[in-house]
Amino acid sequence: MECPTIIGTHYRKTAWAVAVLLFAYLIGGCGGPTGGTTKDLAPTTDLGPTIGSLAKVFTAESMAVEGYGLVGGLNGTGSVECPPEIRAYLTRYIMTRLPGYKGGIGKLIGRRDTAVVRLEGTVPAGAWKGQSFDVRVAVVPGTQTTSLEDGWLYTAELKAKGTFGRTTRVIGRAEGPIFIDKMGTSRTNKKLGYVLAGGQVLDEYNVGLGLRKSDYQIASRIRNRLNERFGYGAATAVSPRRIDLTVPAEHREQKQRFVSIVKATYLDETPEITRERVKAFVRRLAVSKDKYASEIALEAIGKESLGKLPILLNSSDEQVRLRAARCMLNLGSDMGLQTLRQIALDKGSPYRIEALETITGAARRDDAAAIARKLLRDDDFGIRLAAYRQLRTLGDIAVTQRLVARSFSLEEVGQNERKAIYVSRSGRAQIVLFGAPILCRDDIFVQSADGNITVNAPPGQKYVLVMRKHPTQPATIGPLKSSFKLSDIIRALCDEPVRVENQWRGGLGVSYADVIALLKQMCDKGAVRAEFGAGPLPKIG
């Protein structure tokens, strides 16, 4: 009897040999690919001009923006100082926003519970109208503001960096609660914070083509070709040298990929030349170093590529299998779905998240949800997090969500034996509980770093008590009772407090920044038996 390992090796070698021979037959070669240089892969016939060779594609790159604004709601930690030029600007701006304001702009700016701040952000490349982005908020140098904690940024305008004061064009606006990170190992800098997802893009940034040489006939042919490929209305020729593009809905969040496909689209088509193009790019995808360009070229050609792509699903190179399967799925064929599923489930693969995202974006909803749910039980927390994000995108019932205190999203993910907590520190403010419900131990005593917030449950007690010092008065809010479910404790801490007949109702009004720092402490001290993970801070400035 043969050893199973030897049998498996022999089978894989045989399967690969058959695949190579079949590949060679399909691409019309004489023995299969043997090299990897661009020269070796040059087509034997002229494949014709692409749109990218005839026109330059114009799309919005990422853009740094800046501005000045006013933070309110500070507990005497603001400043009455404000540089004259910034005061003049804010006075004009506030009057345009509140033309009937009678309180006196000078008094509003010159109060101890407000602070003048400098704003910075980055509008994403290819942004669409209404898209959100993070905004960095910092105290203006020379003022006496000591802390932005618990503050709220009033609506402010953002302009291209370096143009503030010299242009009237407003790129975006920003507003929202100030988030100050308190989970770092160093001392917290309360003069610096962020408004998570608080910026909003005001205009749609569409894609356009500029012909390298003015020619109305070529412009018309390009327009017709793109409308044929992406649907009527995708392209409009507005002049002999300019074509405006409308990004299709399926590419709305992948504008850069859409741009690449447009550039790789050939102007003319015949059955014969299309077959030559498919053979050339299938071969390049198999053995060349620039696999992305070959994948995009095959997707640009369209469904005609589907006849030759399946052979690449047998490649020994996992990246080739991934790209071929993704191309097929994007072109409407499920033949590559099983390959993508295998990659997503392969614990040794570096392409797992790419495969999962491809499935979610292009496969049938039920197929995508089934794979993502399976990955919720993965050993790798990063994979579980990716699976949750895809299920959230799909609106799957495995993820429930609620808005807490109009400040952050509390989300619970079922179907997962591995307990974990994830908190975001960029993008939307969110707390995600994996393996819900998560229960705390029945012996808890956790305080915030400043001692202002307490979560307490002595041994044998049937409920958890939460309390905090009043932020502006010499009093205590609470104690309030909560169950041992972590989601109930979070709500008791963060829901807005209401005082009824000398009793506190609702929650303690704890900020998002404070509650995620408390959650980390609870995990570190074993009060909650769950893995804890925090997302990265915004990369601004």
- State the chain's mean pLDDT as an integer: 87
Q: Which of 20-34, 92-106, 354-368 has the highest mean pLDDT?
A: 354-368
Burial class (CB in 10 A: 0-12, 13-18, 19+), 445: exposed
Q: Where does the pLDDT of residue 43 fall: very low under 50, low under 70, confident under 90, or very high at 90 and above?
A: low
pTM across the whole model: 0.85
List the chain domain ranges. Answer: 4-48+268-394, 51-59+206-264, 63-201, 398-541
Is pLDDT above 60 for 463? yes
> Percent helix, strand and coil across the chain, each rounded to 5?
35, 25, 40
| DSSP state, residue 485 | B
**Range of lowest pLDDT (162-171, 261-270, 355-364, 511-520):** 162-171
> Strand, helix or coil at 2?
coil
Q: Where does the pLDDT of residue 59 fall: very low under 50, low under 70, confident under 90, or very high at 90 and above?
A: confident
Strands of the sheet containing 408-413, edge to edge, are 399-404, 408-413, 430-434, 420-423, 531-534
In the chain, the N- to C-terminal Cα span, in Å, equals: 66
Neighbours of 250 (CB within 10 A): 12
The CATH number of the structural domain formed by 4-48+268-394 is 1.25.10
Pairing of strands 420-423, 399-404: unpaired
Q: Which pLDDT value is given to residue 39?
A: 44
- Of 397, 467, 384, 396, nearest to 432 by C-alpha is 384
Q: Which pLDDT value is given to residue 13?
A: 41
Decide: 184 and 214 in contact? Cβ < 8 Å: no
Decide: 95 and 183 in contact? Cβ < 8 Å: no
Measured CA to CA, the distance from residue 117 to residue 180 in angstroms comes to 14
Q: Which pLDDT value is given to residue 417?
A: 78
Measured CA to CA, the distance from residue 404 to residue 146 in angstroms comes to 28
Decide: 134 and 195 in contact? Cβ < 8 Å: yes
Q: What are phi and psi of 19, to 5 degrees?
A: -65, -40
More reliable by pLDDT, 327 or 45: 327
Mean pLDDT of 29-44: 42
Encode pLDDT of 369-404 as tens digits.
999 999 999 999 999 999 999 999 999 999 999 999
Q: Where does the pLDDT of residue 352 fall: very low under 50, low under 70, confident under 90, or very high at 90 and above?
A: very high
Q: Which pLDDT value is given to residue 501?
A: 66
Encode pLDDT of 204-253 as tens digits.
888 899 999 999 999 999 999 999 999 999 999 999 999 999 988 888 88
